[in-house]
Amino acid sequence: MIGLGDSSYEFFCQTAKDFDNYLSKLGAVPMLPRLDCDVDYDVPAAEWRQQALGKVKQTLSTDDANEVQLPLNHESPVVSAYTKQNPYSATLLTNQKITGCHSSKDVRHIEIDLQGSNLSYQPGDALGVWYENDPALADVVTTHVGLDGSEIVEVDGEHLSLKQALISKFEITAANPQLVTRFIELTGSKKLAKLLEDKDKLRRYAGEHQVVDVLAEDKTKLTPEQLIGLLRRLTPRLYSIASSQEEVGEEVHLTVGAVEYEYGDDIRQGGASGYLSRRLEEGGEVKVFVEPNSNFKLPADDSTPVIMIGPGTGIAPFRAFVQERDNRDALSQNWLFFGDRTFTEDFLYQVEWQKFLKSGVLTQMDVAFSRDQPEKLYVQHRILEQGEQVWQWLQEGAHVYVCGDANHMAKDVHEALITVVELQGQQNREQAEQYLNDLRKNKRYQRDVY
Ligand SMILES: Cc1cc2nc3c(=O)[nH]c(=O)nc-3n(C[C@H](O)[C@H](O)[C@H](O)COP(=O)(O)OP(=O)(O)OC[C@H]3O[C@@H](n4cnc5c(N)ncnc54)[C@H](O)[C@@H]3O)c2cc1C
């Protein structure tokens, strides 16, 4: 059994743990002990796979099993050679700020050239981006532990300067519970030690701090090996694709919200969003791959109505959906819910939506700008206001899509949909939950939330 997860989350590799426990209870004996992998799973997972295949071979040969030739698909489509492990070095064509100059948010429309890569994607897929950390941040990290960055380290058999390793091989922005634990063990930090007694506190602390904050808690000199031993390997970030290839050919578009916040006197940036929005220049190269998502797809039938709910950067895949339906001349109804802070500063792709409304590709658009009136107004309020019509669309077979913030928005929208089914469909809460569950099972309620 192998679990792939992210140790920043409470239920890290929980599915693997549950299966493992359940199978053990039934008397199963594992071929190998369960391995719980963190986000930088490539190396341990590959080792585990090798061992597991060895065990399977042993078992099959002792059981005298027959080898079965699986049918080969001779008509396999042209597949790009570029993958997560072997990303394509693409050119950044455009980086355009699409929030107003007085907005409290910095959101960028990013266009990337895929020409010659054979990479293809469908609306609903994501683009994986291998980013580079800010060189200035790498300097701050090394200075914190008494190093200057010119020290040579070995990473995967490659010798490079510590600074370069911090830029391209390790996570040096977001902290994680493992880093904090290792740091406490290494330094004996009294200030942080009590975090080890409470997993929730540890996770919260890691979620609210960056690597440099942890290092600053206990000024200690480290060797280059000790420093990189604390850090997680750099992992690519995913961004919902905001374009349809029917519209943009061999380009891919993204909608990237720059993560930036104040911490004391410092300004902190997110690793990948900072790279895409601030450090990478137009004409520069960025390593990318396509991450398909079969659970967030337009209905095969072009006449099926769709309801799209995508506040903030959650709007990205719906730009792809609408472009696709426009190019396919789909005779369908498309309804978009969008929300953000203010109409004047944060209405992402406003002109494009107006054009689609005018041409009839978008049947309806409802917007909620939370800071334009004294009381906060969000997309879930618009859904409730339009409950009768939402229910009617559902009765007509509409598919519902939700994209964006997982912590609040997706839950609030889910609650609003339950209320609509309760009120309009005259069902009790249990029945309404079951109704949405059935929609989900029938792939009529799909969510891509992060
Ligand atoms: C399937 C999928 C699709 C996605 N699509 C999009 C998309 O279309 N557009 C988009 O912009 N993003 C999208 N994301 C999110 C994106 O992948 C990144 O997570 C996001 O850009 C942040 O990454 P980063 O490397 O910039 O930040 P990181 O370097 O990972 O830093 C983020 C960390 O900073 C810390 N932090 C952030 N704000 C604060 C604060 N105010 N105070 C204290 N700490 C803070 C938190 O610890 C947080 O974990 C998507 C994610 C997934 C999984």
Atom of ligand 1 nearest to the CA of 131: 25
How much distance in Å is there from the Cα of 135 to the middle of ligand 1? Answer: 19
How much distance in Å is there from the Cα of 159 to the middle of ligand 1? Answer: 30
Same domain, 312 and 430: yes
Burial zone of 63 (CB within 10 Å; 0-12 exposed, 13-18 middle, 19+ buried): exposed
- Please write the tens of the pLDDT for every residue from 272-313: 999 999 999 999 999 999 999 999 999 999 999 999 999 999
- The pLDDT of 309-336, averaged and rounded, is 96
Confidence tier at 246 by pLDDT (50, 70, 90): very high
pLDDT value of residue 65: 57
Query: What whole-number distance in Å separates Cα of residue 424 and Cα of residue 352?
Result: 32
Query: What whole-number distance in Å separates Cα of residue 369 and Cα of residue 275?
Result: 28
Which residues form the domain of 146?
A: 135-230
Same domain, 241 and 118: yes
Same domain, 189 and 314: no
pLDDT value of residue 79: 72
How much distance in Å is there from the Cα of 174 to the middle of ligand 1? Answer: 9
pLDDT value of residue 70: 59
pLDDT value of residue 68: 60
Choosing from 239, 401, 402 the residue with most ligand 1 atoms within 8 A of its CB, the one to mutate for a pocket test is 239
Confidence tier at 75 by pLDDT (50, 70, 90): low
- Torsion, Cα 379 240 176 146, to 10 degrees, reads -120
Atom of ligand 1 nearest to the CA of 275: 26
pLDDT value of residue 78: 59
| Res 80 pLDDT > 90 | no
How much distance in Å is there from the Cα of 381 to the middle of ligand 1? Answer: 26
- The pLDDT of 209-229, averaged and rounded, is 95
| Res 347 pLDDT > 70 | yes
Residue of 95, 278, 261 lying closest to 174 (CA atoms): 261
Same domain, 29 and 50: yes
Same domain, 244 and 277: yes
Same domain, 225 and 242: no
Range list of β-strands (E), 131-250: 152-155, 158-161, 237-240
DSSP-based three-state secondary structure for 316: helix
Q: Is 69 within the bounds of a domain?
A: no
Same domain, 191 and 314: no
Residue 285 identity (one-letter amino acid)? E
CATH number of the CATH domain containing 205: 1.20.990.10
Q: Is 427 within the bounds of a domain?
A: yes
Atom of ligand 1 nearest to the CA of 206: 47
Choosing from 273, 294, 401 the residue with most ligand 1 atoms within 8 A of its CB, the one to mutate for a pocket test is 273
pLDDT value of residue 248: 98
Same domain, 410 and 384: yes
How much distance in Å is there from the Cα of 314 to the middle of ligand 1? Answer: 13
Average per-residue pLDDT for the chain: 94
> In this structure, how many other beta carbons lie within 10 angstroms of the beta carbon of residue 263?
12
pLDDT value of residue 60: 78
Task: Give the pTM.
Answer: 0.92
Residues 6+ apart with CB under 8 A from 333: 305, 306, 363, 364, 393, 398
How much distance in Å is there from the Cα of 173 to the middle of ligand 1? Answer: 11
How much distance in Å is there from the Cα of 276 to the middle of ligand 1? Answer: 12
Q: Is 174 within the bounds of a domain?
A: yes
Q: Is 298 within the bounds of a domain?
A: no
pLDDT value of residue 442: 98
Confidence tier at 39 by pLDDT (50, 70, 90): confident
Same domain, 435 and 392: yes
Same domain, 314 and 444: yes
Residue labelled with tokens 């200035």:
136
pLDDT value of residue 58: 84
Lining residues, ligand 1, CB within 6 Å: 126, 173-174, 207-208, 237-240, 255-257, 259, 261, 270-274, 313, 316, 448, 450
Query: What whole-number distance in Å separates Cα of residue 383 and Cα of residue 390?
Result: 7
Q: Is 170 within the bounds of a domain?
A: yes
Confidence tier at 77 by pLDDT (50, 70, 90): low
What is the count of structural domains for the chain? 4
